Amino acid sequence: MTQLLGLILLSFFVTSICMVPFIDFLFYLKNKFGKKLADKKNSETPIHDKLMRGDEDIPSGGGVLLIVVLSILTGIFALLNPDIGRFNLKILLFTMISFGLLGFVDDVRWVLTRRKGKLLGLGRGKLLIIQTILAAAVATMLYLLGGLNNFHIPLVGNLIMGVFYIPIAALVIVAFANAYNISDGLDGLSAGLLLICLFAFLAVASSILNLPLASFIGIWIGALLAFLYFNIWPARIFLGDGGAFGFGATLAVVGLLTGKILALAIIGGMFIVIVLSSLLQILSKRFFQRKILPIAPIHMYFKYIGWEEPKIVTRFWLAQSLFAIFGLWIALLSK
């Protein structure tokens, strides 16, 4: 426990030192190469554009710094502790870096096309295909190299999935990568929700004596605490797709490594609520030609009806805390 707390403090200290010059660097790049777009008359999301007005002045890309810090500190931890199993650390870093690179490429493409007067990333189709390929690779490594082929369900027991573990795990990874990205819309929302999830999984990893997993989560928590200081309202920096995709996918892998898929779904409950609100909106428009809500996801709806941003974020954090406590209870029941 002493080592774990030390890792959290070290990660927080290192990230805090790096954060201010990194934000200044992003502002420099934004002022030099950025281009502010005029309001688009024929925007497909006019309500969303109106609600997010002003956020275009805040630099995005904090996830890149966090992934670099996490990778370096995790690598140093692994070198200083050669006796611990390193598979968990390797698969977690591979997931975070690969999905982070995908999001970073999307961010860069978005910036380059924005300078030409457009707003285009890689596109939903291409993103989903690449995400699926990466998730399938991670799931295959979990199955073949990690020996994972089961999910534990309370009151039911271990469900041996065999080779079907791979598509199910891949689906979970893609779902959480996109759920996290969708939740990254208000100052401090996604980072705060993730932080609460990680504290719950830190307890789970400690209860099953998984030192590598607990150590990685501890390093992650420290970095997120430092980032959240600058990300809460009014934000000075955003995570960006690099951090959002990387963190969402890695959260899914953390849950998969514990073998408690039901606990993962509950602990990450607010991410699921957010992504379901967007999914239902999309399906309703496609099949019924009408919207369920004036705007989705659900946190943007609350902003639309007049709730102040800090109020929305704080109440989502409170709801996430209840999900995390319930999910942790479920996980410990099936320990």
Neighbours of 117 (CB within 10 A): 10
Tokens of 161: 């999935």
What's the one-letter identity of residue 131?
Answer: Q
Residues 6+ apart with CB under 8 A from 120: 109, 110, 113
Residues 6+ apart with CB under 8 A from 183: 189, 190, 193, 270, 271, 274, 275, 297, 299
Tokens of 214: 């607990």
81 is in an annotated binding site: no
Instruction: Label residue 110 left, alpha or beta by phi (over 0 means left) and psi (-120 to 50 means alpha).
Output: alpha
106 is in an annotated binding site: no
b/e code 12-40 from CB counts within 10 Å (16+ = b): bebbbebbeebbeebbeebeeebeeeeee
CB of 194 within 8 A of CB of 239?
no
Neighbours of 308 (CB within 10 A): 11
Q: Which residues are annotated as a binding site?
A: 181, 241
Q: Which residues are annotated as a binding site for Mg(2+)?
A: 181, 241
